[in-house]
């Protein structure tokens, strides 16, 4: 299979136009770090954007950074970190969960749209993408959005590009919002709560005025394997419910005190500060207890998004029904479920449980043969599915880009 | 009228009586208005320079009725203009002579308040402020706060992706909406999202938000609500030069401080506001900043000190810090009344809405001064300085021949300058008809064609709110045509592996 390493947007146009003419669909990749997510594709060539890796402009005072889509995420993160800034949505690093070496590119980060724990406060990738240049499936370069935070000029096509898994357009350059890093972080730890009580504690915390920026629950079983990300935290054999407060030092400390009082009915919370807290949240963000090289590495992993107050009931039932493990983030609104090997990855149980509460589930990690028979992305109601297909076709009528990634059976 | 609307369909107009009867069968009673006198209330929105009575007004009160009205109109090739409270400042709800004006004013019930999931499910006709009021007893509020929040509807907020003073810290409508029920032009009713943080598949909610009523008619919305910050305090800082005020804004952001709100007014705006509300604004300064910090008291107190230090370092000539809610509200009173205050000093004014990079503020102000000279029209400036969103208010007198045209040309030049400085045509008011013909300043034909293709995915006949946003309308079949370029996967000069 040909791999075409494009050098600029013109190259992308040329490759896409030729692919249209010859009716040969393209797989779009950066570093390929998330290539194992989705269905096997019916593509005959690879369009590799990793050489489109320039940092076009970084303007810390404007809180924006403009980058080519192939810019390595690791480099960009260290560049903005040096100015004490960050992507507030805490992009997930999928490398350890999927067992892939690279961290990935900016384009991949946006196309996958996998936000971390701070999503409950700061939004997702879609909320931080201000503008984009991209090549559509018509082979035309177009731009959408701009380089300012406040902009309602024309349709907000950025929202569609974020989380589109490369099926609408090939992004070539993007402008993202960056935010100041908080001066301090404090994490409150509650021990020994069952899922239902933990969900209640997280709901109380998120319904408080203390500006909680992370709310997660790790049941006891989440520690059956590796716990290295939790190095300094004692008592890992117990359930852990964790709540994060960030901001200027005095404020984070003050709010941690107030929140501890509010949560007294759930037990006495202990405090973890700064680096230890950051390590803990990176562990949760990257779902390290389910890492590919850990004891559950052979299990399928689902990412279930649901109304936050429904999380515990859904997760508890699912774990009981399948003998699997769950981790809760987003105050219960995000459930990572590692489920024991089964040919259908327990899809009927997962989807039925998710549907029952108005949630949805994505099969993030599973062997290729499982992904052949199971829908990786959540099946949608007929009307929404039809509209989504019309939207897709409005960008890429010949289905040239990542054909088959989102829907089962295209590669057959 | 300087803006051309799509030509009226005479065959539709000829069937008006028949259409009114058919609509009455769908929406019985007083829900269909066809008398010229009663329709007058609907002939314009917040952009009052443009007026056009619709063919007929329909005020449905169920989703089913909305669906049947749209289905009927789609089947008979009749244009439809949706309308919420009619507060659009860009003419988004301007009726069409041959179109049905579909008012959502009867959808005014909050359907569900769910504190555990921090969400409110509401009908689109509910006002922005009413949502905050409905959850205030539990300490919650809905964050986006456009100046018209007493009157503007949440449905209109979604259509326009409305902002407000606090969106620097809390985001615009798009960052605070979770899901909706939407009726497509075909009459099809769809539900998107709900109380989850993210929706599966393409982010349809994201692209519907800010689509200015061109993609569908929203009949229910789920928004997220937040706990109110513990406290808020404001600083009112005066500067002898606009540049110094701009520098102060940049340094505050550069120091990692994101205020709840950060507003700037120039001298004409300060004077107009002070004469109107007597907020105690200093009259001898060129620029005034109102900076609000919110959060826990301990944080607000500390940040107030930091901001004060930055302001002093930037050469502020006056600095007052609120010590009570009454004082904070007084600081804001002048800013919030800036539009009516300007209305007192000028018979008419045009409110512009461009965004520029924060760093371009002094440059933009200098340009506006030059243009003010050129067009011989006054201009008062209020800005959401924190996010670079300018609201120049161009003063004119509609009774003087040629002044409206001069004011519009002045406004267009300001917006062109915004794009030139790296910004955009509209930060929060929408394109509507007002900035429609300026779209090519910012977007190429290819960019606009891609946007119109998306429109085709929702409304292939182009019947929903035509004449808004896009300067040139294309048929969907034409937009969908693929220009196949000859060639195979050859690319002699592209590196391959």
Above pLDDT 90, what percent of chain B? 89
Three-state SS letters, A279-343: HHHHHHHCCHHHCCCCCCCCCEEEEEECCHHHHHHHHHHHHHHHCCEEEEEHHHCEEEEEECCCC
CB contact under 8 A, A127 and B439: no
pLDDT digits (tens, 9 = 90+) for B434-486: 999 999 999 999 999 999 999 999 999 999 999 999 999 999 999 988 876 55
Q: What is the pLDDT of residue A223?
A: 75
Which chain A residue has the Cα nearest residue B195?
A307
Q: Rounded CA gap, B434 and A197, in Å?
A: 54
CB contacts, 8 Å: A159 with chain B: 174, 203, 205-207, 209
Average pLDDT, chain A: 94
Touching check for B481 and chain A: CB below 8 Å?
A: no
pLDDT grade for B339, boundaries at 50, 70 and 90: confident
CB contact under 8 A, A155 and B258: no
The number of C-beta contacts closer than 8 angstroms across A and B is 312
Of residues B488 and B106, more confidently modeled? B106
Which chain A residue has the Cα nearest residue B298?
A251
pLDDT digits (tens, 9 = 90+) for A344-400: 999 999 999 999 999 999 999 999 999 999 999 999 999 999 999 999 999 999 999
CB contacts, 8 Å: A129 with chain B: none
Does the pLDDT value for residue B292 go beyond 70? yes
pLDDT digits (tens, 9 = 90+) for B37-87: 999 999 999 998 899 999 999 999 999 999 999 999 999 999 999 999 999
Q: Both tokens of residue B191?
A: 């539900």
Measured CA to CA in angstroms, residue B269 lies from A175, B65, B75, B355, B459 at distances of 33, 46, 51, 18, 43
Q: What is the pLDDT of residue B165?
A: 87
pLDDT grade for A102, boundaries at 50, 70 and 90: confident
CB contact under 8 A, A3 and B496: yes
Average pLDDT, chain B: 94
Complex confidence, ipTM: 0.97
CB contacts, 8 Å: B186 with chain A: none
- Strand (E) or helix (H) holding B367: helix B361-375
Touching check for B200 and chain A: CB below 8 Å?
A: yes
Q: Which of residues 56-115 of B touch A (CB under 8 A)?
A: 114-115
- pTM, to two decimals: 0.96
Mean pLDDT, residues A55-80 taken together: 96
Which chain B residue has the Cα nearest residue A390?
B457
Does the pLDDT value for residue B373 go beyond 70? yes
CB contact under 8 A, A395 and B206: no
Q: Which of residues 260-319 of B touch A (CB under 8 A)?
A: 295-296, 298-299, 302-303
Does the pLDDT value for residue B490 go beyond 60? no
Burial of B180 (0-12, 13-18, 19+ CB in 10 A): buried
Q: What is the pLDDT of residue B481?
A: 85
A378/chain B closest Cα distance in angstroms: 7
Which chain A residue has the Cα nearest residue B451?
A155
Which residue of A22, A152, A384 is in closest CB contact with B488?
A22
CB contacts, 8 Å: A180 with chain B: 256-258
Q: What is the pLDDT of residue B140?
A: 98
Q: Which of B198, B212, B207 is nearest to A394 (CA)?
A: B207
Strands A360-365 and A300-305: antiparallel
């Amino acid at each position: 299979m040909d791999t075409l390493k494009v050098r600029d947007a013109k190259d992308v146009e040329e490759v896409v136009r030729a692919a249209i003419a010859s009716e040969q669909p393209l797989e779009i990749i950066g570093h390929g770090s998330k290539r194992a997510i989705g269905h096997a594709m019916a593509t005959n060539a690879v369009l590799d954007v990793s050489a489109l890796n320039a940092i076009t402009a970084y303007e810390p005072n404007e809180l924006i950074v403009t980058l080519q889509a192939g810019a390595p995420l690791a480099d960009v993160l260290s560049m903005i970190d040096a100015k004490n800034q960050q992507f507030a949505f805490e992009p997930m690093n999928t490398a350890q969960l999927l067992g892939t070496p690279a961290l990935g590119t900016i384009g991949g980060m946006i196309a996958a749209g996998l936000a971390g724990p701070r999503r409950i406060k700061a939004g997702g990738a879609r909320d931080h993408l201000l503008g984009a240049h991209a090549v559509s499936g018509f082979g035309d370069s177009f731009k959408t959005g701009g380089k300012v935070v406040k902009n309602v000029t024309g349709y907000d096509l950025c929202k569609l590009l974020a989380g589109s898994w490369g099926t609408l357009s090939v992004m070539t350059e993007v402008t993202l919002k960056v935010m100041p890093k908080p001066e301090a972080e404090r994490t409150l730890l509650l021990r020994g709560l069952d899922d239902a009580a933990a969900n209640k504690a997280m709901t109380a915390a998120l319904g408080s005025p203390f500006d909680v920026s992370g709310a997660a629950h790790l049941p006891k079983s989440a520690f059956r394997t590796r716990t290295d990300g939790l190095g300094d935290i004692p008592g890992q054999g117990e359930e852990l419910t964790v709540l994060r407060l960030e901001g200027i030092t005095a404020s984070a400390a003050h709010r941690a005190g107030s929140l501890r009082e509010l949560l007294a009915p759930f037990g006495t919370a202990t405090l973890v500060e700064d680096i230890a807290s950051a390590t803990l949240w990176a562990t949760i963000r990257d779902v390290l207890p389910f890492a590919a090289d850990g004891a559950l590495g052979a299990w399928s992993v689902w990412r279930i998004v649901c109304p936050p107050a429904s999380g515990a009931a859904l997760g508890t039932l699912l774990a009981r029904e399948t003998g699997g493990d769950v981790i809760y983030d987003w105050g219960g609104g995000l459930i990572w479920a590692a489920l024991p090997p089964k040919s259908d990855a327990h899809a009927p149980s997962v989807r039925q449980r998710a549907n029952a509460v108005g949630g949805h589930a994505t099969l993030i990690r599973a062997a290729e043969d499982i992904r052949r028979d199971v829908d990786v992305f959540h099946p949608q109601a007929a009307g929404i599915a039809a509209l989504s297909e019309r939207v897709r076709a409005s960008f890429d009528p010949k289905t040239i880009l990542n054909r088959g990634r989102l829907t089962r059976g295209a590669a057959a | 009228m300087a803006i051309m609307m799509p030509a009226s369909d005479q065959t539709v107009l000829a069937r008006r009586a028949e259409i009114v009867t058919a609509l009455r069968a769908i929406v019985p009673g007083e829900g269909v208005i066809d008398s010229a006198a009663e329709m007058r209330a609907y002939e314009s929105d917040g952009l009052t320079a443009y007026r056009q009575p619709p063919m007929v007004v329909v005020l449905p009160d169920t989703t089913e009725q909305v669906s049947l009205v749209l289905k009927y109109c789609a089947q008979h090739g009749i244009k439809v203009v949706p309308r919420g409270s009619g507060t659009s400042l860009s003419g988004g709800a301007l009726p069409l002579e041959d179109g049905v004006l579909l008012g959502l004013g009867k959808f005014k019930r909050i359907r569900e308040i769910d504190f555990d999931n921090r969400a409110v499910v509401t009908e689109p006709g509910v006002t922005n402020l009413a949502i905050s009021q409905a959850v205030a007893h539990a300490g919650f509020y809905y964050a986006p706060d456009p100046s018209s929040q007493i009157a503007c509807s949440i449905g209109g907020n979604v259509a326009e992706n409305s902002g407000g003073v606090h969106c620097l810290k809390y985001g615009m409508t798009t960052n605070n909406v979770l899901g909706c029920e939407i009726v497509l032009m075909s009459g099809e009713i769809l539900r998107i999202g709900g109380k989850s943080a993210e929706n599966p598949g393409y982010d349809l909610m994201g692209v519907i938000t800010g689509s200015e009523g061109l993609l569908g008619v929203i009949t229910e919305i789920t928004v997220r609500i937040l706990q109110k910050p513990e406290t808020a305090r404001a600083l009112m800082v005066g500067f002898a030069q606009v540049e110094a005020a701009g520098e102060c804004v940049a340094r505050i952001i550069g120091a990692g401080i994101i205020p709840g709100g950060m507003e700037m007014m120039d001298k004409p705006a300060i004077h107009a506001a002070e004469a109107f509300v007597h907020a105690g604004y200093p009259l001898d300064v060129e620029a005034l900043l109102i900076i609000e910090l919110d959060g826990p008291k301990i944080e607000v107190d500390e940040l107030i000190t930091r901001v004060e230090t930055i302001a002093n370092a930037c050469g502020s000539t006056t600095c007052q810090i609120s010590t009570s809610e009454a004082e904070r509200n007084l600081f804001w009173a002048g800013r919030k009344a800036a539009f009516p205050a300007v209305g007192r000093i000028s018979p008419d004014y045009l409110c512009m809405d461009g965004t520029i990079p924060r760093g371009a503020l002094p440059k933009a102000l200098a340009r506006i001064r030059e243009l003010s000279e050129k067009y011989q029209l006054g201009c008062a400036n209020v800005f959401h300085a924190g996010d670079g969103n300018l609201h120049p208010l161009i003063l004119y007198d509609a009774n003087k021949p040629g002044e409206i045209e001069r004011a519009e040309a002045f406004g267009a030049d300001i917006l062109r300058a915004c794009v030139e400085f790296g910004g955009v045509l509209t930060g929060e008011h929408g394109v509507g008809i007002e900035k429609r013909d300026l779209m090519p300043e910012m977007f190429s034909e290819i960019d606009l064609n891609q946007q119109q293709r998306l429109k085709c995915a929702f409304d292939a006949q182009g019947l929903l709110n035509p004449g808004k946003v896009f300067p040139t309308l294309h048929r969907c079949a034409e937009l969908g045509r693929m220009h196949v370029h000859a060639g195979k996967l050859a690319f002699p000069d592209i590196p391959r592996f």
